[in-house]
Structure 1
Amino acid sequence: METAFDFLTMAVFAGLIVLFLQRSVGDDPTEDSIWQYLIASVGCAVSNYLGNNSYTLLGLIVLVVTLIFIYYVLRPLDRWRQP
């Protein structure tokens, strides 16, 4: 791990892993599909690749789009908002 993209994408990917594991063992069934996590993971990988190969702006754009996808599709904060 040498670049900022390595650390950023690894942090997002680690968050995805925690979210997936938390929802897979929870009592409430979720409507998440494994494909949604795959899309977000590929977004992290593409962002890291682009950022490490001198496409910094494009890598940042892909990372932001990936974070937006995670927020709107996987909804990691919905359980905190429920009473």
Structure 2
Amino acid sequence: METVWDWVTVFAFAGLVTLMLQRSSEEVLRDKLWHYAPPAIGCAIANQVGNAAIEDGQALYHVAAIAIMVAVVVYVVKVLKPELPRI
């Protein structure tokens, strides 16, 4: 846990795990376990790309890592459809 990307991806993964555990305790399952694989893999890839950006000093890697994390969030919202809090 040395870089910002480590923290960002671990928090995103923790949220994903929390959603999975919450849904696995429901009587009627909304989704399958494999539905959580793409965003989990996306978090791992974004972490690697973001850390490479820090090590190599390449701004393009930061842009790629941000794009991957946005794709992870879009996938979670569109496919897993969590109930978002109302304000």
How does the TM-score come out when normalised to structure 1?
0.87
Q: Partner of 1:22 in structure 2?
A: 22
Q: 2: distance between equivalents of 1:76 and 1:5?
A: 24
Amino acid at match of 2:18: V
CA distance in 1, matches of 2:45, 2:32: 21
**Which residue in 2 is equivalent to 1:61?**
67
Structure-2 residue corresponding to 1:71: 77
Deviating above 4 A after TM superposition, structure 1's stretches of 4 or more consecutive aligned residues are none
Please, what is the CA RMSD of the aligned residues? 1.5
Give the equivalent residue in structure 2 for 1:33.
32
**1:63 CA drift (Å):** 0.5
Structure possessing the higher radius of gyration over alpha carbons: 2
Which consecutive residues of structure 1, in runs of 5 or more, have no partner in the other structure? none
Seq. identity, %: 37
Q: Is the 8 A contact 2:23 2:30 kept in 1?
A: no
